[in-house]
Amino acid sequence: MSSVSGPDASSLRPRVLALWRRVFDLSWPVMAEQVLRTLMRTTDLIVAGFFSPAAVAAVGLADIYGRLPLWFGLGVGDGAIALSSQDTGSGSVANRDEAVSQALLLGVLAGIPFALFGLVGSFWAIEVLGADAETVRWGGLYLAIILLTAPAFHVTMIAARSIQGTGDTRTPMYINAAANAFNIVLTVALAFGLGPFPELSVVGIAIATAIGDTLAAITFIAVIYSSWSDLTLVWPSRLVIMKQLLVISAPRIAEGVTELIAEFPFNAILLMFGTEVNAAYHIGRRVYQQLSSPLSRGYGTAANIIAGQSLGRGNPDEAYFNGLAAAGLAVLTVGGLGVGIFATADWVVLVFTRDADTIPYAVDFARAYAISTFLIALYIVLAGSLRGGSETRPPFVAKLTGAVFFLLGITYVFGVHLEYGVVAAYVAIVADWVWRNLVVGVVYARKGWLERGTRMMHERGSLTEDED
């Protein structure tokens, strides 16, 4: 047995290390981009905290609805990155350009209803969650402004992921980093009335976000039109590609809708425990999103790209191995960061609030997410690999069942009915991610996602029998 395992182990190590270098090369620009994106959102909460706990709750509650266009953009973007990476691997440039062009057009059209909802329903949307009058006023204004630029936000999300699918993760980083840095500066200036700018408080935060998203979208379209990008915009003509985009995107969008729907009752339950508890949840979640989420997302994007390109080259075994190796790297690095977040939570939350009633709850929420960091990283990478194989259904099932039976079920039954209070919410957060990993892990191990990706490439003519 030793004679067999020795050579295998010696050949496995350089292969894993080489793959880790490839994953890091692809993921670090995404991480840097996400750090600034989450820093922008973090800045929103920090700035809101200077006004009142109601302002923090308003931004947090409005962000629930703001994540709906985010998830739509991610959903269509996942379809774009899957087809872009697969067709890059197979060399089917025409199919790739068609998929990207169709995805961008779909994003623009789908953003219009969100903009209309922002104009007519934003105040109702905050009020229906049971928020107080001040929170409704601030949250309604904030939500209306950010939803107006939903079409531009979709373009930004979809264009970035389309370019990433070609293996270029740096160009999206440059564009989004510049836009997000500008957004952060403008947020502070408009909220506090610095220099020549008027003091607009929460409204200023929203205006800065809207301007930043619009500028990013314009820049992405300009880059795709230029020689900087390998992509070319074409007039959409192939229905099979649109069908595949929708098939891949729909479960991902449904995944986001599930999160949105789950956030409503979850936030409503937390509001039953008090506005401070609800504000603490958004702060604790933001700590995770700022410090460790960018790493997980970076690794997930890299896993998506390398899985898709491996399948495009007709090598499903390589795609399977690469996903596992990327997951190992993510668990080691992000999990280690989670330990640091847990240990320093008492100090980190002070960045967001000095309210004595909010701080203890915020620390506990931050620690609940810190415990979950390695679980979240593992899930995001495995799900990213599945999406590289055009398989987006299992993450949706995992999120739906996890939200219903764990996040909401545990919080309500133990927190409200059995009167354990907010402690149940901390447990529910961790249990939700445990369950999601079980669902996605089983699907990954069965390898059906590799067959699905290969079959869909055959359907659109990106992979011939000789290449399979």
Query: What pLDDT was estimated at residue 371?
Result: 94
The pLDDT value recorded for residue 464 is: 67
The confidence band for 274, taking pLDDT boundaries of 50, 70 and 90, is confident
Q: Is the pLDDT of residue 6 over 50?
A: no
From CA 453, how far away is CA 390, in angstroms rounded? Answer: 5
Percent of the chain with pLDDT over 90: 66
Mean of the per-residue pLDDT values of the chain: 90
- What are 214's two structure tokens? 């619009």
Provide the pLDDT for residue 466: 54
**For residue 11, is pLDDT > 80?**
no
Distance CA 67, CA 151 (A): 14
Find out whether 365 and 285 touch, Cβ atoms under 8 Å.
Answer: yes
> In angstroms, what is the C-alpha Rg of the chain?
22
Distance CA(220)–CA(242), nearest Å, equals 21
269 near 416, Cβ under 8 Å? yes
**235 burial class (0-12, 13-18, 19+ CB within 10 angstroms)?**
exposed
Our CA dihedral for 133, 139, 145, 150, rounded to 10 degrees, sits at -140
Neighbours of 289 (CB within 10 A): 20
Q: How confident is the model at residue 258 (pLDDT cuts 50, 70, 90)?
A: confident
What distance in Å separates the CA atoms of residue 227 and residue 217, rounded to the nearest whole number? 17
pLDDT level of residue 9 (50, 70, 90 thresholds)? low
Q: Which residues contact 38 (CB under 8 A, 6 or more apart)?
A: 286, 289, 290, 293, 294
DSSP string, 212-237: HHHHHHHHHHHHHHSTTSS-------
Rama region for 463: left / alpha / beta (φ>0; ψ in -120 to 50; rest): beta
Domain extent listing, the chain: 11-459
Higher-confidence position of 379 and 11: 379
Task: Return the pLDDT at 5.
Answer: 41
Q: Taking the mean position of all CA atoms in its chain, how far away is CA 273?
A: 28
Q: What is the pLDDT averaged over residues 407-421?
A: 91
Q: What is the pLDDT of residue 324?
A: 95
Residue type, 31: M
Residue 408's pLDDT band (boundaries 50, 70, 90)?
very high
Q: What is the pLDDT of residues 333-353, one digit of tens each?
A: 999 999 999 999 999 999 888
Q: Average the pLDDT over 83-93 and give the result.
A: 93
- pLDDT single digits (tens) 123-179: 999 888 778 888 888 899 999 999 999 999 999 999 999 999 999 999 999 999 999
pLDDT value of position 40? 83
Please measure the distance between the N-terminal and C-terminal CA atoms of the chain and give it in whole angstroms: 34
pLDDT at res. 3: 39
pLDDT category at 430 given cuts 50, 70, 90 is: very high
Quick one: CA dihedral 56, 57, 60, 65, positive or negative? Answer: negative
pLDDT, one tens digit per residue, over 361-374 is 999 999 999 999 99
pLDDT of residue 113: 95
CA atoms of 303 and 232, how far apart (whole Å): 24
